[in-house]
Structure 1
Amino acid sequence: MSRTRWRYGLTATACLLAAGLVPAPAHAEDVTDYAITVDPTDRGAKIDDTMYGVFFEDINRAADGGLYAELVQNRSFEYSTADNGSYTPLTSWAVSGTAEVLDDSGRLNERNRNYLSLSAGSAVTNSGYNTGVRVEQGKRYDFSVWARADAGSTLTVGLKDAAGTLATARQVAVSGGWKKYTATFTASRTSSHGRLAVASSGAAALDMVSLFPRDTYKQQANGLRKDLAQKIEALNPSFVRFPGGCLVNTGSMQDYSESSNWQRKRSYQWKDTIGPVEERATNANFWGYNQSYGLGYYEYFRFSEDIGAMPLPVVPALVTGCGQNRATDDEALLQRHIQDTLDLIEFANGPVTSTWGKKRAAMGHPKPFGLTHLAVGNEENLPNEYFARFLKFRAAIEAAYPDITVVSNSGPDDSGSTFDTAWKLNREANVDMVDEHYYNSPQWFLQNNDRYDSYDRSGPKVFLGEYASQGNALKNALSEAAFMTGLERNADVVKLASYAPLLANEDYVQWRPDLIWFNNHASWNSANYEVQKLFMNNVGDRVVPSTATGTPTVSGPITGAVGLSTWATSAAYDDVQVTSADGTSLLSDDFSGDASRWTHNGTGSWSIQDGAYVQSDAAAENTLVTAGDPRWQDYDLHVRATKKSGKEGFLVAFGVKDTGNYYWWNLGGWNNTQSAVEQATDGGKSTLISKAGSIETGRAYDIDIKVRGRQVTLYLDGQEWGSFKDDKPAEPFRQVVTKDAATGDLIVKVVNAQSADARTAIDLGGAKVASRARVTTLAGEPDSVNSETNTPVTPVTSTVSGIATKFTYTFPANSVTFLRIRHG
């Protein structure tokens, strides 16, 4: 078959051709790049209604300053240096006059301990999030405060920015003990730089200073920011996984004690987050900031219901993850958390006559939320310890609520010893569903479309709870789309899937990539969002089996220079030897002279010390230095390495083409808990092989790496540590076909993640179809990234003619295309 490549870009003519609106070039009539064959008589996997959902975690200021519509930051003065070195109880507040934050018996309540003592004639001003408090002309804003003051005191509350007043000031009379006071503003101007000011005529105590837009999502009090909630709703998610993530199972797991201050950095516990907002805790977030819990479990359940999604909460298993390795042996504490989980199910599903159902009803929702799935734990690195505790949770839940699906997990990676051990335990215990997480390079996603083809059809089902390609460009989204065709093809195994993370405030980013980006006045969809939306709104009910021709690939040997690096660690390297397969020395450096053969990327502090090459900055990350020829192949690399101080171990690189493309053996990574070989492709990393293990400080290790063709064998102190063969092709052309039972539509989903158009012969296997179809295409330059002011990656929908049981269609370069073909 001829496979002529058209190398032009996505011109206007190409777009029209792809949509079937102009004739194909005459010479193309006898050229077919690909062929897709559909068998409508065969029945593929049934796709459950719950296939695609969203995962919410309070990372990147996703809650306070994000989805939670509160405009005041640090509204209850609970920020603390103990939580973040840059915080004080007056973070985000400016004081005019005399004010003091107190924690004494005069507090509002035991969980809202700090309050502001404001002297007569003094004022405080809050700066909100990002550039300030956002208000829009003509819209209403609801102010509230809990205050205590002597009779005759008046609070003057106003909104302003540098240009002047943003709304008419309000006078609020305050008298007596703690009470809630309210006022409403109508903004006279639009501003993203506003400040909320509160001044007192007399001495007063203030707490829970709040400002909400009246126009929240569905006009709900204590509600959600409308544009963000609507973007999530537009995805049409079938479930919402919440509240995390790493914040679920990290931090202290101890109980709150009324005899002492709030236990800071406490793991996320649902009972802290319900009830009257002024009685909820403020807690230190795993991601480095405080969360108010104004957006709590009740709001998560309510939002899930509002968007028609299944709630899927995650509770801590008392084994930490996310780079921490601790497990509690306190049986009483474990039993208390198990009872908390049973209480959570009662809160969600119990009648109003039950203890926790009554609390739900008191919050405004007498009807049960209909909880069906619950996950125990998240990314635990200690699989045996985790699973022993999981079994106790599951036994208790199944005894009380046998209809609840209890979800386990397989750790933080797509492979490795933790993953293998966890899956073995899950299979042996007949677990219903296992939560997998992985963040990898676009190449990995293009290579692993068949990941679930070989999974045991009779074993536990898969919940892909967190996944993403490492970037927000179109090329990342296309690699995820290619992978998702494999998820759908294996819908009998993969029952739930959600991209992560969901939200990112552009001024408070702890993690990239993210699905939806925002600031205090705007939000925008990433390219990844557009792919997720396409799939989530065009799922279908059953896979229609189909096959496609592939893309020829030619894989040469692994080539590249060598490198040394560290990550939050100081280490010394010596006796570097690179020898070709025939014994020829390519590099020999004992560092008795200078380091002139090594190229430094500018990070870290490298110097020759006592005949070794030392990186002495124990805080610096990715300090890669390289030496040699990018054309090297078939060689042996020897290094002697000694850890001097820091959190991790060594990074020894090979196959180095440049700073974004290489392999490295990461010894003592992940806070010195495991070792792995990672491959970096265009800056994104994927794990090829991993094992648990740590590196000792002060001990010299002999590291040897043997590269032959695409086979790599690794030795640690003379013993084989592991090996791999990197020969899996990254297939850029992927497809899946599903059928929509309600409409009878065939949905042909094709990803062309390469720089050439793909003219494709499509054979629908004799299916009777209409001659016209609806086509939605997402295409562009592979490095295109959407931003607040420019969204080059946007889907285009049109109608295409010429559809028949056999027809030819050209899929644009760098595109994902959905053809909805109606029954004829």
Structure 2
Amino acid sequence: MRILPPDHWQGREADHPPRMIRLNESRNMMKPVSISVADDAAGTPINPNRWGIFLEDISMSIDGGLNSDLVRNGAFEFSAADSPRWSWRTGWRFLHRGDSGFLDATVDVEDPVARQNPHYLSVRVTGGTTSAENEGYDGMPFDACKDYEFTAWVRARYVEAGEPAEDMPQSVRLSVQLTDGADAVLAQRVLDVPLGRGWVKVERTLTSGRTCDRGALRLVVNDDHAWPCASRHVIVDVDWVGLRSAEHAAKLPMFRKDLVDALRRLHPAFLRFPGGCIAHGYAGLDSIYQWKTTIGPVEHRRQMPTGRGTHQSMAIGMHEYLLLCEAIGAQPVPVLAAGVSCQFAFEGATPIPIDRMDQYIQDVLDFIEYANGDVDSVWGGRRAANGHPQPFNLRYLGLGNEDAISDVFEDRFSRIHHAVHDAYPDIQVIGTLGPFMEGDDHERGLRLARRLNLSIVDEHGYRSPQWLLSHLDHFDHVDRNGARIYFGEYSARSNALDGALAEAAFMASMERNGDAVAMASYAPLLAREGHEQWKPNLIYFNARTVHETPNYWVQSMFGEHRTDTALPTCVSGVSGMRRAFPVRIGLRATAERADFSVSDVVVTDRDCDDANEPQRIRLNDVTVRDGESERFPLALDASSYDIDMTFERTDGEGGLAVSFGDIEAGEYGEWFVDSWQNLYTGFRRVGGGIPDEPLPPVGGGIVDGKRYRLHIEVRGSDGTVRAFLDGRLLQEYRDDGVERHVVAQATADSATGRISVKVINVTEDTLDANIRFSSRGERFGAIAARALAGAEGPAPMQLRERPLEHVTVPPKSLVEVLIERA
């Protein structure tokens, strides 16, 4: 065998030239670890296309992100339905200058460009100049000598009291300017908008005179005419204003190039879209994603609220999504609603009425035809008319997202599934297991999958690093005779390196269980800095810069080399650490969107010698105001204890959270009541300051003015926590997992014989890893290695003379050893 030089990895990521990791530490200072790989065993077949990405329109990931349009609200369709303080003016600033006239700018809907989006800006020419300025998303970035492509629909019309005069001017002047966000003009083009000729689409290129980070687009209506009749006035209408950099991703003019490049560097095998809750209507039944309204001319795509305080322009619809998949080499995994809206919407889960189901099912079938049909079919012809005659080779279709698996859901899902299976038997329908990694919805989803013979079901889980490291056996228990898991949304809820390494360890466990786990995708993918609606995210960006996280580089390393066999891999020389509920006891009550009175608080120490005489500590009564926390004066160490208190909501509509454990260290449990619009009550564990996703919550909220008695039992002997409300057991939680801080997994490509060995070290120790192969490496050729030890990305490693006997694994790192067959 031969050791490849470190520059073997050079050029793999041209935008991120790797650093060198030099290993000067003496082996005497390292911790020895043995890793055994059975490379001559048959191994477990795994999906080579298992690692993908998930794109959902939250945190300005699409409009203000992937969508390269710099204009915000260019169609004047924003409204209070998006966010309470929004209107058609959002994103725009209006100004009138001159000695005559006044500002008269409003929105109109009469005779629009497109009835689907009827609002447009209407400016009355009254004298002087009227300007409308748009700063986009936190200011528009302009570069000196670079071109920007402006588009808009414009119309000039006159309103008069009598017959038009012969000397009536034939046009109105509209100036298009790039500015520095103040008064300096960086570029300008002047348009003469013809009077009385209806809507006209205009396209102009502007070249910026200098670089600016917080620029703006300004439209100026100039009144250069002395109108012949005072009773006559002119109106200039403007709609669908857009501005894009002329530098864009190849064949993807609507996408921001640097973000597409960042997605490509993840080496995704597939891309899931559009949701997420957006797919099945976070704002109710009327907001279910309707793919047919997202294709064709953008003016005719119905814009919609997301239900999360943002707006969907639909500039990137289903067709653009399929183009993006093609451009980055990812298989499309679209998700459509299963005939029921999101249960977290205000009105709860609402099914599509039976008399509308046939049409909805036909819409689903038409989408498959749009993606795969030949040009002679109705929807394949529409695809060709939209510029893509070749099929997109769709193989997967997700139905539903984190749905409550009710009887009506099973009915709607089954109807759609049967129709898809009958018409397109080669399409793999992906089911859903509800919003949690366990619980009633999860079990009902599995039963439904067995009944319908589904091959893949979608499971989601957002857990802390501690949880992931202590549940590396989670997928060991999946029924191998049932559907395989698509782990469609997951994260360690942290962008710190520890969180990324916990994700890597969990991903290694998914590879080990590749016969049970078919696919996985981290979530969320993208977030614009300052507009995060969810944290953490894989990629953060602003107007100019893309910031990759350690989590990003973990995904990239796992995705780069596609292998199809998981080899039996064993780590020895390290031990696990049992998770234990903290013995230091603090107590805190936090209110959100409500006020609460908390009284009769008693903490009972069950660790005392005389079990019949437990120590009881009575604490003071408190009032907890909206948005505030109250700490109880408690200093106690105990592994087993009870907490009792009475609480009452005195004002507001929100909930109460009771935290107990070592709060200062970020290691505690939290019981919450009246969450999700007074729908749920539940428990979650917080580790390292990072909250786990709560246990599957219990349905039902609380009633104003009623006093409730809460009883919590913590038993450190078996890591059990129980919560009771008015004597009724609500939930039971067991915290007895063993964290594994050194994990390894080897996979192989059967076609080339290449072997990838990944070693995840979450400890503070440098490891001296001896990788032993059952074949003794007799047919090994070149060997190379790289390590991820921070946010800068993986770096090549300098290997020693006997590289497999002494692989140095730095503290808190992910190391990959790549072995080529001779």
TM-score by length of 1: 0.87
The one-letter code of the counterpart of 1:214 is: A
Q: Which residue of 1 aligns with 2:777?
A: 767
Query: Structure 2 vs 1, CA of residues 127 and 407 (structure 1 numbering), >3 Å: closer, same or farther?
Result: same
- Partner secondary structure for residue 51 of structure 2: coil
| 2:54 matched residue in structure 1 | 55
In the other structure, the counterpart of 1:389 is 412
* Bigger mean CA deviation after superposition, 754-763 or 116-125: 116-125
User: Could you report, residue by residue, the CA deviation over 1:312-335 in whole angstroms, capped at 9, with x for unpaired residues?
Assistant: 111122433363322226212333
Find the aligned partners of 1:133 and 1:556 in 2 and give their Cα distance: 51
Correspondent of 1:579 among 596, 600, 604: 604
Equivalent position SS for 1:667: strand
Contact 1:546/1:737 (<8 A) preserved = yes
Deviates more, 1:499-508 or 1:88-97: 88-97
2:624 touches 2:630 (CA, 8 Å); kept in 1?
A: no
Q: Which amino acid aligns with 2:789?
A: A
In structure 2, stretches of 5+ residues that fail to align are: 1-19, 97-102, 158-169, 224-234
Question: Deviation string for 1:658-700 (max 9, x for gaps)?
Answer: 2732102233433333333211012211247434321231333
For the structure 1 residues 687 and 140, does the alpha-carbon distance in structure 2 shift closer, same or farther, using more than 3 Å as the test? closer
Tell me how far 1:409 sits from its aligned partner: 0.8
* 2: CA distance, partners of 1:688 / 1:183: 53
Alignment of 1:337-486 (within 5 A): 337-486=360-509
CA distance in 1 between partners of 2:452 and 2:277 (Å):
25
C-alpha distance in 2 between matches for 1:122 and 1:515: 46
Q: Which of 650, 655, 661 is equivalent to 1:655?
A: 661
Residues 204, 465 of structure 1: alpha-carbon distance in 2 compared, 3 angstrom cutoff? same
- 1:630–1:657 Cα contact (<8 Å) kept: no
Return the match for 1:553 from 552, 559, 577.
Answer: 577
Give 3-state SS (helix, strand or coil) of 1:323's partner: coil
Verify the 8 A CA contact 1:417 1:692 in the aligned structure 2: no
1:468-513 Cα offsets, whole Å, 9 max, x none, are 1112111111110111101111111111111111111002111111
Amino acid at match of 1:818: E
Q: CA deviation at 1:220?
A: 3.5
Cross-structure match for 1:671:
677
Whole-Å separation in 2 of the counterparts to 1:488 and 1:39: 15
Amino acid at match of 2:493: Q
Over 3 Å counting, the alpha-carbon distance change for 1:691 and 1:149 in structure 2 is closer
What is the identity, as a one-letter code, of the residue corresponding to 1:416? G
Out of 264, 267, 271, the residue aligned to residue 236 of structure 1 is: 267
Q: Identify the residue that residue 15 of structure 2 maps to in structure 1.
A: none
In 2 relative to 1, CA 247–56 (structure 1 residues): closer, same or farther, beyond 3 Å? same
Q: 1:70 to 1:403 in 2, by over 3 A?
A: same
- Per-residue CA deviation, residues 131-189 of structure 1 (Å, 9 max, x unaligned), is 31112222211111101115322221111115765543112222211110111112221
The answer for the alignment partner of 2:187 in structure 1 is 168
* Partner residue, 1:134: 141
Letter in 2 for 1:249: H
Structure 1 residue 123 and structure 2 residue 121: aligned?
Answer: no
Aligned to 2:819: 821
For residues 266-313 of structure 1, the C-alpha deviation after alignment (integer angstroms, 9 at most, x for no partner) is: 232112211101221221122211121111111001110111111111
Match of residue 302, structure 2, among 273, 281, 284 = 281
- Deviating more after overlay: 244-253 vs 374-383: 244-253
User: How far off its partner does 1:616 sit?
Assistant: 4.0
Residue in 2 that maps onto 1:270: 291
Give the counterpart letter for 1:250 in structure 2: G
Equivalent residue, structure 2, for 1:615: 624
Quick one: which amino acid aligns to residue 691 of structure 2? K
CA contact (8 A) 1:773 1:799 kept: no
Q: Is the alpha carbon distance of 1:699 and 1:422 closer, same or farther for their aligned partners in structure 2, counting shifts above 3 Å?
A: farther
Partner of 1:595: none
- 1:292 counterpart = 2:313: yes
In structure 1, the residue corresponding to 2:805 is in which secondary structure?
A: strand
In the alignment, which residue of structure 1 is the partner of 2:715? 708
Tell me how far 1:802 sits from its aligned partner. Answer: 2.8
Per the alignment, residue 211 of structure 1 pairs with: 243
Correspondence for 1:784: none
Tell me by how many angstroms 1:748 deviates. Answer: 0.8
Task: Specify the SS of the correspondent of 1:78.
Answer: coil
Asked if structure 1 preserves the Cα contact closer than 8 Å seen for 2:714 and 2:720, the reply is yes
Aligned: 1:96 with 2:95: yes
Matched-pair contact (CA < 8 Å) for 1:125–1:195? no
Q: Tell me the distance in 2 between the aligned counterparts of 1:353 and 1:476.
A: 50
Flag the 1:571–1:427 CA change in 2: closer, same or farther, 3 A. farther
1:692 is aligned to 698
Alignment of 1:453-532 (within 5 A): 453-532=476-555
- Name the amino acid aligned to 1:570: D
CA distance in 2, matches of 1:643, 1:399: 54
Seen in structure 2, the aligned counterparts of structure 1 residues 163 and 683 have a Cα distance that, compared at 3 Å, is same
Partner of 2:714, secondary structure, is strand
Aligned-partner SS, 1:810: strand
Q: Which amino acid aligns with 2:794?
A: P
Equivalent in the alignment of 2:78: 79
| Counterpart Cα distance in 1 of 2:464 and 2:540 | 21
Q: Secondary structure at the match of 2:784?
A: strand
Does the C-alpha gap of structure 1 residues 22 and 161 become closer, same or farther in structure 2, counting only changes over 3 Å? closer
Q: For residues 393 and 219 of structure 1, what CA distance do their matches in structure 2 show?
A: 34
Cα distance in 2 for residues equivalent to 1:382 and 1:138: 56
Q: Distance in 2 between matches of 1:770 and 1:24?
A: 27
1:732 CA drift (Å): 1.0
Q: Which runs of 5+ in 1 are unaligned?
A: 1-17, 256-265, 592-612, 781-791
SS at match of 1:53: strand
Are the aligned partners of 2:288 and 2:341 in contact in 1 as well (CA < 8 Å)?
no
* Separation in 1, partners of 2:245, 2:459: 38
Report SS of the residue matched to 1:498. Answer: strand
Corresponding residue for 1:39? 38
Q: 1:588, 1:305 → 2: CA distance?
A: 65
Counterpart amino acid of 2:177? G
Check the 8 A contact 2:576/2:739 in 1, yes or no.
no
Which deviates more from structure 2 when the two are superposed, residues 210-219 or residues 230-239?
A: 210-219
Say whether the 8 Å CA contact 1:93–1:124 is kept in structure 2. Answer: no
Secondary structure (helix, strand or coil) at the match of 1:702 reads: strand
Task: Select between 492-501 and 579-588 the one with higher mean Cα deviation.
Answer: 579-588
Structure 2 residue 317 is matched with structure 1 residue 311: no
Task: Supply the distance in 2 between the matched residues of 1:818 and 1:529 (Cα, whole angstroms).
Answer: 16
- Equivalences for residues 188-267 of structure 1 within 5 A: 188-201=209-222, 203-221=235-253, 223-251=254-282, 266-267=287-288
Alignment CA distance shift 1:666-1:348 (3 Å): same
3-state SS of 1:124 partner: strand
How well do the aligned residues superpose, as a CA RMSD in angstroms?
A: 2.4
Following the alignment from structure 1 to structure 2, what is the Cα–Cα distance between the partners of residues 687 and 632? 26
Most deviating of 538-547 and 287-296? 538-547
Q: Displacement, 1:770? A: 4.7
| 1:640 partner SS | strand
Q: Distance in 2 between matches of 1:320 and 1:34?
A: 51
Contact 1:655 1:663 in 2 (8 A): yes
Match for residue 629 of structure 1?
635
Distance, in Å, in 1 between the alignment partners of 2:338 and 2:461 is: 20
